Structure 1
Amino acid sequence: MEPQDIKIAGITIAPGEEKQIDAQIAKLPSRTPIDIPIIVSRSTKPGPTLLITGGMHGDEINGIEIVRRIIANNYHRPLIGTMICIPILNVYGFINFSRQTSDGGKDINRSFPGTRNGSLASQLAYRLTQDILPLIDYGIDFHTGGARINNYPQVRAQLDDPKNLELARAFSPKFMIHSPFREKSFRKEAAKAGKSILVYEGGESLRLRKHAIDVGVNGLLRVMKHLNMREEAPVSKGGLYHIKKSSWLRAKSAGIYHSFCRTGEFIEKGTVVGLITGPYGEFEHKMKAPTSGYAIAINNKPVVNRGDALIHIGFEE
Structure 2
Amino acid sequence: MRASPISPTVDFSAEGVQHGFLRLPYSRDDSAWGSVMIPVTVVKNGEGPTALLTGGNHGDEYEGPIALFDLARTLKAEDVSGRVIIVPAMNYPAFLAGTRTSPIDKGNMNRSFPGAPDGTVTPKIADYFQRMLLPLADIVLDFHSGGKTLDFLPFCAAHILPDKAQEAKAFALVSAFGAPWSMKMLEIDAVGMYDTAAEEMGKVFITTELGGGGTATARSAGIAKTGVANVLKAAGILKGSVEATDTTWLDMPDGNCFSFAEDGGLIEPLYDLGNRVKNGDVVARIYPVGRTGVAPVEVKAKMDGILAARHFPGLVKSGDCVSVLADIVD
Shorter-normalised TM range: 0.7 to 0.9
**CA–CA separation in structure 2 for the residues paired with 1:82 and 1:69:** 17
Among the aligned pairs, what percent are the same residue?
22
Q: Which residue of 1 aligns with 2:175?
A: 169
Of 182, 192, 195, the match for 1:184: 192
Instruction: Name the structure 1 match of 2:245.
Output: 236
Aligned 8 A contact 1:49 1:83 in 2 = yes
**What amino acid maps onto 2:80 in structure 1?**
L
Q: Which moved more, 1:203-212 or 1:193-202?
A: 203-212
Question: For 1:233 and 1:206, how far apart are their aligned partners in 2?
Answer: 29
- Shift of residue 77 of structure 1? 6.7
Write the mapping of 1:101-120 to structure 2, written as runs, cut at 5 A: 101-120=102-121
Report the TM-score, using the length of structure 1 for normalisation: 0.86
In 1, the alpha carbon distance for the partners of 2:287 and 2:201 equals 50
Aligned counterpart, 2:226 = 218
In structure 1, how many angstroms separate the alpha carbons of the residues matched to 2:78 and 2:221? Answer: 20
Q: Give unpaired runs (5+ residues) of structure 2.
A: 1-6, 162-166
Spell out, residue by residue over 1:150-187, the C-alpha distance to the aligned partner (whole angstroms, 9 max, x if none): 12222332234222222222223313123358122222
1:274 counterpart residue number:
284
| 1:4 matched residue in structure 2 | none
SS at match of 2:25: strand
Q: Secondary structure at the match of 1:204?
A: coil
TM superposition shift of 1:87: 0.7
SS of residue paired to 1:12? coil
How many angstroms does 1:115 deviate by?
1.8
Write the mapping of 1:22-37 to structure 2, written as runs, cut at 5 A. Answer: 22-29=21-28, 30-31=30-31, 32-37=34-39
Paired residue secondary structure (2:254): strand
Q: Secondary structure at the match of 1:145?
A: coil
Q: Does 1:203 align with 2:211?
A: yes
Amino acid at match of 2:201: A
Q: Name the CA distance, whole Å, in 1 between partners of 2:287 and 2:213.
A: 25
Give 1:138 deviation, angstroms.
0.4
In structure 2, C-alpha distance between the alignment counterparts of 1:170 and 1:140, rounded to whole Å: 12
Report the CA distance shift for 1:54/1:75 in structure 2 as closer, same or farther (over 3 A).
Answer: farther
In 1, Cα distance between the equivalents of 2:76 and 2:278? 40
CA contact (8 A) 2:288 2:294 kept: yes
Structure 1 residues 116, 156: closer, same or farther in 2, change over 3 A?
same
The more displaced of 33-42 and 254-263 is 254-263
Q: What CA distance in whole angstroms lies between the structure 2 residues aligned with 1:75 and 1:166?
A: 25
Matched residues in 2 for 1:311 and 1:289: separation?
Answer: 8
Q: Deviations over 1:38-71 (max 9, x none)?
A: 1111223x22111110111122222211212323
| 1:131 CA displacement | 2.3
Answer whether contact 1:267 1:293 (CA < 8 A) is retained.
yes
Q: Secondary structure at the match of 1:240?
A: strand
Cα offsets for 1:223-267 (capped at 9, x unmatched): 122112221333212423344335223346443112232223332
SS in 2 for 1:170: helix
Q: Point out the more displaced range, 134-143 or 256-265.
A: 256-265
- Go from structure 1 to structure 2 and tell me whether the alpha carbon gap of 1:251 and 1:112 turns closer, same or farther (over 3 Å shift): closer
* Distance change in 2, residues 1:249/1:190 (3 Å): closer
Partners of 1:273 and 1:97 in 2: CA distance: 29
Q: What does residue 296 of structure 1 align with?
A: 308
Distance change (3 Å), C-alpha of 1:270 and 1:189: closer
How far does the alpha carbon of each residue in 1:207-237 deviate from its partner, in whole angstroms, 9 at most, with x for none? 1233322222222222122112221333212
RMSD: 2.6
1:3 match: none
Structure 2-normalised TM-score?
A: 0.83
Assess, with a 3 A threshold, how the Cα gap between structure 1 residues 40 and 205 changes in structure 2: closer, same or farther. Answer: farther
The alpha-carbon distance between structure 1 residues 201 and 232, as it changes in their structure 2 partners (threshold 3 A), is same
Question: Which residue is 2:61 aligned to?
Answer: 60
Partner in structure 2 of residue 137 of structure 1 = 138
| 2:248–2:328 Cα contact (<8 Å) kept | no
DSSP 3-state at the match of 1:122: helix
Of residues 201, 205, 209 in structure 2, which corresponds to 1:193? 201
Could you tell me how far apart the structure 2 residues matched to 1:109 and 1:100 are? 9
> What CA distance in whole angstroms lies between the structure 1 residues aligned with 2:144 and 2:126?
16
Distance 1:10 1:73 in 2: 20
Q: CA deviation at 1:310?
A: 1.4
